[in-house]
Amino acid sequence: MRSKSPLKKDDTHLFCCQNPDCSDYGKRGLGNLTVSGTSGSQGNRMLRCRSCGYRFSETRGTVLFNSKIDHDQAVSVMAHLSEGCGIRKTSRLTEVSLGTVARLSKKSGKHAQVAHDELVGFSPSD
């Protein structure tokens, strides 16, 4: 099966071990991750940490984790939402069900909130 993953095969340096008990947890670019196969209907790659043996999907910890729709469709949904389209309008324009658009909106909002809190927390004060 051909992987539908939009990510390149040699980009494991962009990921980090997702096992909180691993000494390399959260550290990128260590060369400890290998691709160990694919998983799910979207053909997402499974990554394996050499340090602890933990296997996880490349989408773990992202809005796309456990998503059943095509990656490009999910990106299109989020692009429409970020441009101010409502849930119903986005659903019509992207031909994705209302429930799926609502779920992606909720998940992406939570991720954006976490990113905002981290980035603003480290911003220098005026």
Which residues contribute to the site for Zn ion (CB under 5 A)?
17, 19, 22, 24, 49, 51-52, 54
Closer residue to Zn ion in complex, CB, 39/51? 51
**Can you name the residues that pair with 38 across neighbouring β-strands?**
45
In the block, residue with structure tokens 């994705």: 96
Residue 78 beta carbon to Zn ion: minimum distance, rounded to whole angstroms: 29
Residue 57 beta carbon to Zn ion: minimum distance, rounded to whole angstroms: 14
Name every residue whose Cβ is closer than 8 Å to that of residue 46 and which is 6 or more positions away in sequence: 35, 36, 37, 38, 39, 55, 56, 57, 58
Residue 11 beta carbon to Zn ion: minimum distance, rounded to whole angstroms: 18
Query: What's the one-letter identity of residue 89?
Result: K
Closer residue to Zn ion in complex, CB, 26/86? 26
CA dist 72 and 53 (Å) reads: 30
Closer residue to Zn ion in complex, CB, 19/76? 19
